[in-house]
Structure 1
Amino acid sequence: MSPLTRPGEIAMAVTPPDPSQPSGSRPEVRSAAGVLRGTHEAGVAVFRGIPFAEPPVGALRFGAPRPARSWSGVREAVSYGPPPPQAGLFGMDALSREAPGDDWLTVNVWSPEPTPGAGLPVMVWIQGGAYVFGTSGLPEYDGGRLARDGGVVLVTFNYRVGIEGFGQIEGAPPNRGLLDQVAALEWVRDNIRAFGGDPERVTVFGQSAGGGSVAALLAMDRAAGLFRRAVAQSAQGTYFSPDLASDIAAACAAERGLRPTVTDLSGVPPHELPAAGDALGATMDQRADRWGRPAYRTIPFSPVVDGDILPATPWQALAGGAGRDVDLLIGHTRDEQRLFTAVTGMLGEVSEEQAATALRFLAPGPDGARRYREAFPAAGPDELYELVHSDWLFRMPSLHLAEARSAAGGRSHVYELTWAAPGMGGVFGACHGLDVPLVFGNLDRGQPAALIGEGPSPEAEALSARMRAAWTSFAAHGDPGWPAYDTGRRLVQIFDTDPAVAAYPEEASRLLWQDHPFPVLSVVT
């Protein structure tokens, strides 16, 4: 979901049964829970809104996901399930009002050949949204083109976000959003063969918080064996300690005059609870002396390194050999921060004081601010502000995943998207989220498509085709088409008008961050 979205601009893509497709001609599959009837769309069979877990409400609220019950007869699978409760950022809470319901935990499947035994590669998408918003029913996540052109079975799904999914609540398991993701992957393992997919060739891919989730899944014992390959796009590098997560949850509950317990919070209707997180987010910067970088950047929720569900940070886990049998594709955009700077009205307006504050909070080490200025001597406040934000939250966490895999003797492929988005006057550069329409091929739908511009150019279509081919080739064979990354040559794929394989372009930033361990984020003491 792009921060370009504004309240009132959101529309869930709901596809009613096509009257031109009699029920007898529509695709049907037999899943483990019962028979599903979908639709044919542009040469692909599509099944939407399939429950993979029971609705997490009532007695099941704030609990680990439970497998969905079976049904008799034929279940219509033509509309997306309702979104989980959403934060109010960018008007996302409007989705809960427009598509009410509590059956949040659903999957959607696009298949070019929905017959058992087809043995197609499977790609499972985890959307981003800062761990506080996001739903699979947005038009930018339509999997039809990627499935049809790439010959893959494409799966998207919902998971709980915000306090429902990631709040540290007394009496509830932590990381419920991650547990939802594991449950969705278990559903894929148990059902995808019926849709033409090969459960032994599953690739999980995600962007932003979805990329951070992919990284977390690599570190989780519960996810072991559920996917063969993983793609982390602009992985969000925030992972909380239990003390920080508990402190933030207590402050969030206090916005409603409650304690952060299952007993207290269960009395608040699910779609009303995100407002407490929104209220907290509006004042988080005032608590930076206690919560540090997440407060400065307004990040109230992230996966919690609890020692059980998530035993370590992804970098620690990968360096220790976790996920050693999983092929990795990792990368980021060049100008990650640019979009956020623009939507907050700061593009071209960053003061020297604001740049100094960003360097003080985010740059690595006690002399990080000085080292940034020395590494980029010609950079003004705007560039320094964007560089350190991009590096701390997305670019260096993503690169360090590849570095950690190399430290353990493993293999990964790295890319950087440097193509400048032409839409909206070209001010956004190669910004955060630009990769989403390019990878899905949805260049003219959904909010991120605004970055591409009206009437996608041949240049945009060609770049999208290259990226789709790389992702689907990686899913099928483990090879996206360029050499593996190593700590000698550091070769990466540069995606631009003229793509090239070259040494990692952000060498100055890499050197600044090379010794930073990206530790668990804790309460400042």
Structure 2
Amino acid sequence: MSGQPSVRTTEGVVAGLWKHGQAEFRGIPYAQPPVGRLRFLAPAPPPRWEGTRQAVEFGPRVPQSMPDFGPAIAAPAGATDWLTLNVRTPDPGAAGLPVLVWIHGGAYIAGSSDDPMYDPTALTEAGLVVVSLNYRVGAEGFALLEGAPANRGFLDQIAALRWVRRNIAAFGGDPDRVTVAGQSAGAGSIAALLTMEETRGLFRRAITHSVPGWHCSRELAEEVSTALAGRLGTVPTAAALADVDPWSLASALTSLGAELSGHRERWGRLSRTGVAMCPVIDGDLLRETPWSALNGGRAGGTELLVGHTRDEFRLFTVMTGRSGTITDEDARTALDLFAPDPGGADAYRAAQPQASSEALFEWVYGDALFRMPSVLLAEANAAAGGTSFLFELRFGSPAQGGILGACHSLDVPLAFGALDSPTGRQLCGDPAIPEAVAVSRQLRQAWAAFAHTGDPGWAAYEPGRRLTRLVDAEPETAPYPEQVSRRIWEGHAPLPFDLVRGVRASGRDLGAALPGAGTGGTGPERDPDSKAR
């Protein structure tokens, strides 16, 4: 193909590039850069331009923080045009193609749409227009600050969906056939978007993999923001933090996450996650958890494809080097903090009295943080009048002798068909083993069929039968396999992280005068359980 593909959007003409015979447009702004006078505000409408804007490079990454087990990320020089999106279309001259909008994960503190794991080639070959986007994460997107709207990362996602509504027809897509898809924090974002009045008419279907049960009460979020600002010698207001370098603020959040154990008596369950910041039940944009809103009839159901992996938490015990080291005390603490009350901890022990400490530890963490939020979302969506389709990924990664099992994030390169990406090669083999190729084909076909028709190819999940697709080299549809966990959690939707009542905040809790406080100092010894993503 000769020349650049070009499309006229409502803001101006963009010129992209040809990739595998498909037209790709990168780094298109859907809002103004959220810096200077716009920092910590709701996203402002994108700029307009004359002439043709080159759309051949991905937009810059939003400032990244990391969980306590993650590698450091160096700050890039310069660019602050963080709120951009990318479009890949099989034919910009087409009309009425279904659209898939991908919202990346990353624990609400990291992640970017330029990850090679999100290469849309295989999905676009299935007839989809694929959009991916960057949104504010970490403190830029989710710190609760005086003088700023809460959950700015969600506001960014809504602004991107409005851009899609306005513009996607020019790329061959149908604005009335939009499916939003995401994994981990991206799936949690979508669960929240399902309940918001602001998203009505912006998408028709949703795909959520490994929905996290992570939200903060306002009171806890206020203390976290106070502690974060205290590390920088200031207070948690938009005005006070406006002049703090964004990457320095992100680094301070990484440091706070690594020292969460110092706040365990006051911050409770949050202190055992390794990640200090997540969406806030703010009473405005996000009035309650998605499970509460759907079950209470305050949000309507939709066409929903939801799934989780069998061994959700295994990735984290391996990544932190803790595989084979989990003690009885570790397991007791996990059960006491994360099993549902009343009686959840005893129910776990009674269900598998011979289980090892490590098995109990991974079981309750995987259930509390990903598996049960996913299943309960499917049930709540059906209760609200929607149609839910459930799957469990049972195919195990061959990496490291198979120790990872069917771990968190394994489903992402499989669903995108990005087996040649660095993550795909790491998890699926280099080259990918035949079983991984077969499972990848299954998930891609399910995504494409669901985006086209609302049916992934197996029976809906309904009370009574609870049919679930077991995704493996030889798939089958059967009753939900994690029945013990489902029964333990029945009637116990995930609750927001909250302060431990009766424990007064101290100077330490509020980030004041910590020994070595700051982005480069040393602090309290890390909690060995601080590692959930």
- TM-score normalized with structure 1 length: 0.93
1:364 Cα deviation from its structure 2 partner: 1.0
1:30 Cα deviation from its structure 2 partner: 0.5
Residues 82 and 134 in structure 2, CA contact (< 8 A), matched pair in contact too: yes
1:310 Cα deviation from its structure 2 partner: 0.9
Q: Residues 104-183 of structure 1 correspond to what in structure 2 (within 5 A)?
A: 104-115=82-93, 118-148=95-125, 150-183=126-159
| 1:308 corresponds to 2:279 | no
SS at match of 2:132: strand
What's 1:101 paired with?
79
| 1:54 corresponds to 2:32 | yes
Q: Residues 414-433 of structure 1 correspond to what in structure 2 (within 5 A)?
A: 414-433=390-409
1:326 Cα deviation from its structure 2 partner: 2.3
What's 1:82 paired with?
60
Residues 285 and 297 in structure 1, CA contact (< 8 A), matched pair in contact too: no
SS at match of 1:91: coil
CA distance in 1, matches of 2:281, 2:329: 34
Question: Which amino acid counterpart does residue 44 of structure 1 have in structure 2?
Answer: Q
| 1:204 corresponds to 2:204 | no
Question: Which amino acid counterpart does residue 123 of structure 2 have in structure 1?
Answer: L
CA distance in 1, matches of 2:320, 2:78: 30
What's 2:71 paired with?
91
What's 1:30 paired with?
8
Which residue of 331, 334, 350 maps to 1:374? Answer: 350
Q: Where does the alignment leave 5 or more consecutive residues of structure 1 unmatched? A: 1-20
How many residue pairs get aligned? The number is 499
Question: Which amino acid counterpart does residue 291 of structure 1 have in structure 2?
Answer: W
SS at match of 2:131: strand
SS at match of 1:50: strand
SS at match of 2:470: strand
What's 1:511 paired with?
487
CA distance in 2, matches of 1:361, 1:452: 34
| 1:44 corresponds to 2:44 | no
Cα deviation code 1:343-373 (max 9, x no counterpart): 1111122111111111111111143222111
SS at match of 2:232: coil
CA distance in 2, matches of 1:46, 1:40: 6
Residues 331 and 358 in structure 2, CA contact (< 8 A), matched pair in contact too: yes
Residues 301 and 383 in structure 2, CA contact (< 8 A), matched pair in contact too: no
Residues 301 and 384 in structure 2, CA contact (< 8 A), matched pair in contact too: no
Residues 299 and 384 in structure 2, CA contact (< 8 A), matched pair in contact too: no
SS at match of 1:404: helix
| 1:407 corresponds to 2:383 | yes
| 1:241 corresponds to 2:217 | yes
SS at match of 1:219: coil
Residues 104 and 113 in structure 2, CA contact (< 8 A), matched pair in contact too: yes
Question: Which amino acid counterpart does residue 164 of structure 1 have in structure 2?
Answer: E
CA distance in 2, matches of 1:410, 1:57: 39
Cα deviation code 1:190-222 (max 9, x no counterpart): 000000000000000000001100100001111
CA distance in 2, matches of 1:48, 1:339: 31
Residues 123 and 204 in structure 1, CA contact (< 8 A), matched pair in contact too: yes
CA distance in 1, matches of 2:493, 2:212: 15
1:448 Cα deviation from its structure 2 partner: 4.6
Of residues 447-456 and 253-262 in structure 1, the stretch that sits farther from structure 2 once superposed is 447-456
Of residues 422-431 and 102-111 in structure 1, the stretch that sits farther from structure 2 once superposed is 422-431
SS at match of 1:172: coil
Residues 466 and 479 in structure 2, CA contact (< 8 A), matched pair in contact too: yes
Which residue of 269, 278, 297 maps to 2:245? Answer: 269
CA distance in 1, matches of 2:174, 2:381: 26
Question: Which amino acid counterpart does residue 248 of structure 2 have in structure 1?
Answer: E
Task: Pick closer, same or farther for the CA change 1:269–1:433 going to 2, 3 Å.
Answer: same
Cα deviation code 1:98-121 (max 9, x no counterpart): x64100000001100112x52100
What's 2:47 paired with?
69
Alignment identity in percent?
51
Please report the RMSD computed on the Cα atoms of aligned residues, expressed in angstroms. 1.3
What's 1:392 paired with?
368
| 1:495 corresponds to 2:485 | no
What's 2:457 paired with?
481
CA distance in 1, matches of 2:149, 2:425: 37
- TM-score normalized with structure 2 length: 0.91
Question: Which amino acid counterpart does residue 69 of structure 1 have in structure 2?
Answer: P
Which residue of 299, 312, 318 maps to 2:275? Answer: 299
Of residues 284-293 and 315-324 in structure 1, the stretch that sits farther from structure 2 once superposed is 315-324
Cα deviation code 1:293-351 (max 9, x no counterpart): 11111231111111211122100111234553621111100000000000111112211
What's 2:505 paired with?
none
Question: Which amino acid counterpart does residue 344 of structure 2 have in structure 1?
Answer: G
